[in-house]
Chain A
Amino acid sequence: MNKRGEPLLMQSLITWTIVGILLVSFLLLLNNSSKDPYNKKQILAKEVCIIITAAPNNSVISVTSNLLIEKKDNNIVTKRYPQDPGYSYPCYSNNFTVTNENGKATIKITS
Chain B
Amino acid sequence: MSNKILKNKKAAASYTIISFYRIMMIIIVCLVFVAVLWMQYSKPYDIRKLENAQIAKKVVLCMTNESLVLTQENFNEKTLNECIKTTSDVFLNLTFQGKSITSGRRELEVYCQVQTRVTGPYLPSCLDYNYSVLNSSHQTDQLNVFIALDKNSKNVQVIMNK
Q: Residues of A with Cβ closer than 8 Å to B?
A: 3-8, 11, 14-15, 18-19, 22-23, 25-26, 29-30, 33, 42-43, 46, 49-50, 53-54, 89-90, 92-95
User: How many Cβ-Cβ contacts under 8 Å join chain A to chain B?
Assistant: 74
| Stretch from B1-9, B68-76, B135-143 forming part of the interface with A | B1-9
**What residues of B have a CB within 8 angstroms of the CB of A11 in the complex?**
19, 22
Q: Chain A's nearest CB lies how many Å from the CB of B157?
A: 12
**What residues of B have a CB within 8 angstroms of the CB of A50 in the complex?**
47, 50-51, 54
Task: Check if B23 sits within 8 Å of A15, measured CB to CB.
Answer: yes
**What residues of B have a CB within 8 angstroms of the CB of A22 in the complex?**
27, 30-31, 34
Determine the main DSSP class of A at the interface with B. Answer: helix
**What residues of B have a CB within 8 angstroms of the CB of A4 in the complex?**
1-3
From residue 32 to 83 of chain B, which have CB atoms closer than 8 A to chain A?
33-34, 37-38, 41-42, 44-45, 47, 50-51, 54-55, 57-58
**What residues of B have a CB within 8 angstroms of the CB of A7 in the complex?**
2-3, 6, 15
| Cβ contact of B55, chosen from A30, A89, A93, cutoff 8 A | A93
**What residues of A have a CB within 8 angstroms of the CB of B54 in the complex?**
50, 53-54, 93
Known: A46-B45, A46-B47. A54 touches B57 (CB 8 A): yes
Could you show 24 A-B contacts with beta carbons less than 8 Å apart? A7-B15, A8-B2, A11-B19, A14-B23, A15-B23, A15-B26, A18-B23, A18-B27, A22-B31, A23-B30, A26-B37, A29-B37, A29-B41, A50-B51, A53-B51, A53-B55, A89-B154, A90-B87, A92-B87, A92-B89, A93-B58, A93-B84, A93-B85, A95-B85
Give the docked Cα–Cα distance between A94 and B84 (Å): 7
Q: Chain B's nearest CB lies how many Å from the CB of A42?
A: 6
Task: Check if B58 sits within 8 Å of A30, measured CB to CB.
Answer: no
Task: Check if B45 sits within 8 Å of A42, measured CB to CB.
Answer: yes
Task: Check if B26 sits within 8 Å of A19, measured CB to CB.
Answer: yes
| Cβ contact of A26, chosen from B22, B33, B51, B89, cutoff 8 A | B33
